[in-house]
Amino acid sequence: MDDIKKRFKEHESGDFIGAEMVVAFWETKPEIVKKLLPPPLKPVKYPLANTFVGDFPKTNFGLPYRESALFLRSQFNNVPGNYCLGMHLEGPGADLGMAGGRESYGFPKKCAKVVFNLKGDKFEGWSERHGVRNVHIKAKLNGKPNTPDIEKILAETAAASGDTIAYNFKHFREPGGNNYDYKPVLTSSITVYRPEIQILGEVEITLGSSIHDPWAEIEVVRPLGALYLKGTNSMTTGKIEAEVDPKEFLPYSFLKTDWF
């Protein structure tokens, strides 16, 4: 029992050491945000979306892996965060990364091909499943974002603490397949970024959809820019924010599965 308690203590946070990420930000359409946000999440001031491709060479919970994700900026009880619409993983540590994120917080994680390629100030990265490239980011990390006011826009829609909050819905089908094991719950989790390098840049974002991963629904209306981060990230505390009505949540409950 002491060994078990020690292990839980050592892994109170998931740490990503030497992590590299390129995050792309854009404005989409308000009607898209309204359509895709499950209650009780609400839109923020701007119809903002973001995606990232990341390389995690060392973690405190397993082997390395690569990851990409798609988010809509949203808020719960006036606290802004990112609602995760999809997350793709590849690499030796992807199984543990997937299990932890899906089972603890409800992240809609799936296996995919994820490519992270940085040469000098040029970046190209993507993720694809079932032959479809769901996101493709090209960035020039020159300190010149597409939109000069990107930092102002992001600051106005960020959590007051400065940490990044992710919103997810945790739910499991009961064995009979006709209901849930428990009422779906809205969760929040906090990731603390401690970048050693942080560079803004110009970005080109291409999204692609399949019936399994309809990422292109988040239309790119105005690219804002890219942000390159290198440092240590820690995924720390999480909590249940609210229970959700199962019938009301049903239309939003298929992010973790494929439509075969």
How do the domains of the chain map onto residue ranges? 13-252
189: left (phi over 0), alpha (psi -120 to 50) or beta: beta
Residue range 111-117: mean pLDDT, rounded: 98
Q: How far apart are CA 132 and CA 145, in angstroms?
A: 28
In this prediction, residue 54 carries a pLDDT of 98
What is the model's pLDDT at position 178? 79
The Cα 86–Cα 11 span in angstroms is 25
- Cis preceding linkage at 40, omega within 30: yes
- At residue 176, the pLDDT reads 83
Task: Give the whole-angstrom CA distance, residue 234 versus residue 243.
Answer: 26
Residues 80 and 159: beta-carbon distance below 8 Å: yes
DSSP designation for 250: G
- pLDDT tens profile 80-113: 999 999 999 999 999 999 998 999 999 999 999 9
Amino acid 127: pLDDT: 98
**Mean pLDDT for all residues in the chain:** 93
- Mean pLDDT confidence for 22-43: 98
* pLDDT surpasses 80 at 11: no
pTM of the model: 0.94
**pLDDT value of position 160:** 66
| 155-211 confidence digits (pLDDT tens) | 888 876 678 999 999 998 888 877 888 899 999 999 999 999 999 999 999 999 999
pLDDT of residue 249: 95
Buried b (16+ CB within 10 A) or exposed e, 88-110: bbbbebbebbbebbbeebbbbbb
Q: Quote the pLDDT of residue 142.
A: 96
Q: pLDDT grade, residue 53 (50/70/90)?
A: very high
Angle at 217 between CA 213 and CA 221, to 5 degrees: 140
> What was the pLDDT predicted at 2?
59
pLDDT of the residue at 246: 93
Residue range 13-252 forms a domain whose CATH class is mainly beta
